[in-house]
Amino acid sequence: MIALKPGGLPWLLRHELRMTLRTKKTGPWAWAILIVGILFMHGIGALSVFGFSKMRLAPENLHMIFGGMGLFSVAIMLAASLQMTVNAIYTRGDLDLLLSSPLRPGTILPVRLLAVGLAVMLSSLAMAACFMNPGAVMVSGRWLVGYVTLPALCMLAVTVSFLLVLGLVKLVGARRARTAAQVLGGVIGIGAALAAQIPNMNSTADKATQSKNFQAMAALGDHPAMVPVQWLGAAITGEPLPFLILLLVSLGGFVLVTITLGPAFVRSVNDAAGTDATPRRKQGDAGPLVLRTRGITGTVLWKEWRLILRDPSLLTQVCSILLVAAPIVLPSIGKHINTASGEQLAFGWMGIVPVAGLLAGALAWLAFAGEDAPDLLGTAPVPARRMLRDRLLAAALPAIVPATPVCLYVALSTPWSALLLWLVTLLSVTTYLAMDMRQGPVLGGRKAFQKRYQSNVIALFGEMLLGFVLFGLGWAALKFLAPLWAVPLLLVLNAGALAVLLWPKRSAD
Contacts of 172 (CB under 8 A, 6+ apart): 180
Residue 320 has what pLDDT?
66
In this structure, what DSSP letter does residue 440 have? Answer: P
Tell whether 130 is covered by a domain: yes
Contacts of 46 (CB under 8 A, 6+ apart): 134, 138
Tell whether 23 is covered by a domain: no
Cross-strand pairs, 346: 336
Residues 377 and 322 in one domain: yes
In this structure, what DSSP letter does residue 275 have? Answer: P
Residues 476 and 356 in one domain: yes
Residues 161 and 255 in one domain: yes
Residue 317 has what pLDDT?
67
Cross-strand pairs, 344: 338
pLDDT in tens, the chain (509 residues): 456 666 667 777 777 777 766 644 455 665 666 677 778 888 888 887 877 777 776 777 777 878 888 888 888 888 888 877 777 776 666 666 776 777 776 677 778 788 888 888 887 888 888 888 888 888 888 888 888 888 899 899 889 988 888 888 778 776 677 777 767 776 777 666 666 655 555 544 445 554 555 555 555 556 677 778 888 888 888 888 888 998 999 889 888 888 887 666 666 665 555 554 444 444 444 444 444 446 778 888 888 888 777 766 666 667 666 665 555 555 555 577 888 888 888 877 888 898 899 889 888 888 887 777 777 777 777 787 888 888 899 889 999 998 999 899 989 989 999 999 999 999 999 999 988 887 767 766 776 776 666 556 667 777 778 888 888 899 999 989 888 899 999 999 999 998 888 875 544 34
Phi, psi of 444 (to 5 degrees): 100, -15
Tell whether 281 is covered by a domain: no
> With DSSP H G I counted as helix, E B as strand and the rest as coil, what are the percentages for the chain, rounded to 5?
80, 0, 20
Residues 167 and 55 in one domain: yes
Tell whether 78 is covered by a domain: yes
User: How many whole angstroms separate alpha carbon 461 and alpha carbon 455?
Assistant: 12
Instruction: Say what the pTM is.
Output: 0.61
Residue 277 has what pLDDT?
46
Residues 350 and 380 in one domain: yes
Cα 258 to its chain centre, rounded Å, is: 27
Residues 102 and 194 in one domain: yes
Tell whether 280 is covered by a domain: no
Amino acid at 338: N
Residues 430 and 338 in one domain: yes
Tell whether 212 is covered by a domain: no
User: How many whole angstroms separate alpha carbon 183 and alpha carbon 163?
Assistant: 16
Residues 335 and 477 in one domain: yes
- The parent domain of residue 121 ranges over 9-18+36-205+224-274
Residues 254 and 178 in one domain: yes
Residues 259 and 352 in one domain: no
Neighbours of 268 (CB within 10 A): 21
Tell whether 286 is covered by a domain: no
Residues 117 and 235 in one domain: yes
Tell whether 27 is covered by a domain: no
User: How many whole angstroms separate alpha carbon 244 and alpha carbon 263?
Assistant: 30
Domains: count for the chain: 2
Residue 280 has what pLDDT?
46
Cross-strand pairs, 337: 345
The strand pair at 336-338 and 344-346 is best described as: antiparallel
Contacts of 412 (CB under 8 A, 6+ apart): none
> Where does residue 345 fall: left (phi above 0), alpha (psi -120 to 50 degrees), or beta otherwise?
beta
Show which of 213, 244, 274 is a domain's final residue. 274
User: How many whole angstroms separate alpha carbon 14 and alpha carbon 152?
Assistant: 20
Residues 254 and 300 in one domain: no
